[in-house]
Amino acid sequence: MPVPSAQSFAPLPLASSLQLLDWAFIILSLGIVISIGAFARRYMKSVADFMSGSRLAGRYLLAVASTEMGAGAVVFVAMFERVAVSGFSLTWWGWLSAPVMLIFTIMGWVTYRFRETRCLTLAQFFEVRYSRSFRIFNGGLAFLAGIANFGIIPAVGARCMVFFFGLPQTISVGGFHIETFILLMALFLTITLFITLAGGFITVMVTDCVEGILSQIFYLVIIATLLLLFSWQDISSTLAVAEPGKSRLNPFDSFGLSDFNLWYVLMGLAVTVYGRMAWQNAGSYNTAAITPHEGRMAGVLGAWREMGKTSVVVLLAVCAVTFLNDPKYTAAAAPAHEVISQLESPQIQKQMTVPAALSEFLPAGVKGMLIAILLMGVFGGDSTHLHSWGSIFVQDVVMPLRRKPFSPKNHILALRLGIIGVALFSFVFGSLFRQTEYIFMWWAVTTAIYVGGAGSAIIGGLYWKKGTTAGAWAGLITGSILSVTGIILRTTSNGQFPLNGIQISFCAMLAAIIVYVTVSLLTHRKDFNLEKMLHRGRYAIAQPEVEEAALLSVPQKRSFWLKVIGIDDEYSPKDKLIAGALFGWSMSWSIVFLVGTVWNIIIPWPLAWWSGFWHIAGIGIPIFITLVTSVWFTWGGLHDIRALFHRLQHHKSASSDDGFVVGHQNLDEIHGHSGEVTAAKRELQLKR
């Protein structure tokens, strides 16, 4: 690794050093998380426990925990990058796609049917639906793309923490100059490994949920502080300063933002729908719900919670931009500018601009809360990634090559060794790799290596009985080759290649769909039995842990609009209220978008109008949502953690429920451990 200049040894100014109150919040938060993780490990007794918590998680636990992996330092930094470049303009175009995404979430697009298969990993489903060789190839490709995608995450998170802890950029150890972020990365990965290895997905899921609950409380304090430190007039004045075509307030003057614009939103929507659940960085959350409907509701609730977190990120970013650029803060911001200028590359400078500013102006205590949020997000996100990629290597590469399953003890040992291997790779990769892309663009490109082709096999395999193994192979290979080719051309063209990461993904997706459908039609001989794979009708499986009343809900006649947005008979009146309110909320903003677009085409708004609009729509209303969701999800998350421990205490997993497949069927189902479904439930499922 390159040796920085002597200037890099200068620590950050004393104003950035942490106070006793900061350390109190950091230590208390991490102490709570680690203690609960240690407590939860006692409930891990089987491979199914280690992989998915034996599929016993409730909706609030999943909603809070699964979104916590998006609260780590690397995600905050990536979102800071995007907000600093595009401001509120990207939010406007995002309202165009939000209702579409919500419809797919409410109907449980892909995730509902996948949970019905009872598979522990996506590639296990590929063996059930297609073939064992297709499972192994997919497992290997997903693993390689995943660790490349994850490789930068611990490093970016550690770099961010260097600023907040007020540490020097390098440290001298035994005459060797070591970059400080490398040492922090080693420490963070060690703590993350303890959480992940202790009880597998049980500890990952529970600690993620606890982290999310604590973060919700801290969000409110941070918001109040920022509103006291910065006036909206100062913020909007700073954001108003932009080159023509790159406005951060007026979306109709933002088409010069080549990376984060309208086409970024529309293509991102298509790729997200197509690649639903294909990216397995949090694969176990797709398998952990106690029922498919609980998993679907977790997705709906997660959309509510994301609104609260996004408001904090946006407010932090725009305040940091104001601090660095408003003339009244010139003297106070000078140390941050100096530190940023000393960083080794332009891309790292962009990534660390907002963190460097935040480390200067946040007061004692509040800075500690933000660091605690970011650290908990680091452990939450990294533990989920480590568990996912390490498990995929063992479950979908190593195990299918064996002629017989592991013993339960050796299986769990193999899973733990796989997780350790991923951690070691990410440490080495993060220490040596130097980024030249925005974080979001790096993620889009590395994700496309796998998702570009896998999406067609997933959707076709779950929804189309005429999809064939040959079609799946052809679609996967086509999408992956086009994605990798695009990456190589973009990398070797010194920025001259006309497509960015999201555009490469979009083109690969279209080609994969066309090839999958064409080859499947050409090679189709016999319809696949989807009912058997999804355990529907006479193939349904009893679930003793689920209350019979929840399973035997009486079908009711649905209105046209309920059918349109995907609400079916499994939605209780309360569920309909939650999902309907979310859809109505999203639609209201889409109406604002349509009316505002027509209005601006006829009579463009002056910049002062946009400033007032974003004061309400971009700051005021999202902060209110944050307040509501903090109370709501704290109660729900705590309730579901308690319920999970109760279920695990009385649950006994079948030793054969380990992901092994024989003759296109899960091994535990062949052994008959799953029991029979009641006649009433069978009748209900047949009606659906």
Alpha carbon distance 633, 61 (integer Å): 9
* Contact in structure between 646 and 53 (CB atoms under 8 Å): no
Residue with tokens 């991923």: 422
pLDDT band at residue 499 under the 50/70/90 scheme: confident
* Contact in structure between 420 and 189 (CB atoms under 8 Å): no
User: Which of 96, 77, 91 lies closest to 266 in space, CA to CA?
Assistant: 96
Residue 275 reports pLDDT greater than 90? no
Residues 22-29 have a mean pLDDT of 92
Residue 582 reports pLDDT greater than 50? yes
pLDDT band at residue 438 under the 50/70/90 scheme: low
pLDDT attached to residue 73? 65
Amino acid at 404: K
pLDDT attached to residue 672? 56
Residue 1 lies in a domain: no
* Contact in structure between 535 and 118 (CB atoms under 8 Å): yes
Amino acid at 605: W
Top pLDDT among 556 and 426 is at 426
Residues 570-578 have a mean pLDDT of 88
Count up the domains in the chain and report the number: 1
Residue 635 lies in a domain: yes
* DSSP 8-state secondary structure symbol assigned to residue 57: B
* Token pair of 674 as six digits: 């799953």
User: Which of 451, 454, 457 lies closest to 469 in space, CA to CA?
Assistant: 457
Alpha carbon distance 103, 108 (integer Å): 9
Residue 78 reports pLDDT greater than 80? no
Residues 157-179 have a mean pLDDT of 81
pLDDT attached to residue 595? 94
Residues 637-644 have a mean pLDDT of 94
Round the average pLDDT of the chain to a whole number and report it: 83
Residues 30-49 have a mean pLDDT of 90
Q: What is the pTM of this model?
A: 0.80
Alpha carbon distance 43, 202 (integer Å): 8
Q: Are strands 176-179 and 170-173 parallel, antiparallel or unpaired?
A: antiparallel
E strand or H helix that includes residue 686: helix 679-687
pLDDT attached to residue 565? 67
Residues 400-428 have a mean pLDDT of 92
Alpha carbon distance 224, 263 (integer Å): 35
Domain enclosing residue 348, as ranges: 6-687
Residues 110-122 have a mean pLDDT of 91
Q: Say what percent of the chain tops pLDDT 70.
A: 87
| Chain CA centroid to CA 200, Å | 19
pLDDT band at residue 441 under the 50/70/90 scheme: low
Sequence-distant (≥ 6) Cβ neighbours of residue 582 within 8 angstroms:
102, 106, 300, 303, 304
Residue with tokens 């979430």: 105
Residue 82 reports pLDDT greater than 70? yes
CATH number of the domain where residue 618 is located: 1.20.1730.10
Residue 485 lies in a domain: yes
pLDDT band at residue 114 under the 50/70/90 scheme: very high
Top pLDDT among 155 and 465 is at 465
| Chain CA centroid to CA 687, Å | 35
Residue 22 lies in a domain: yes
User: Which of 292, 248, 237 lies closest to 118 in space, CA to CA?
Assistant: 292
pLDDT attached to residue 542? 65
Torsion angle of C-alpha atoms 524, 527, 530, 531, degrees rounded to 10: 180
pLDDT attached to residue 14? 34
Residues 491-497 have a mean pLDDT of 72
pLDDT attached to residue 26? 92
Work out the number of other CB atoms within 10 angstroms of the CB of residue 655. Answer: 17
Long-range contacts of 228-234 (CB under 8 A, 24+ apart): 229/319, 229/361, 230/319, 230/322, 230/323, 232/611, 232/615, 232/619, 234/322, 234/326, 234/328
Residue 100 reports pLDDT greater than 50? yes
* Contact in structure between 543 and 551 (CB atoms under 8 Å): yes
pLDDT attached to residue 74? 66
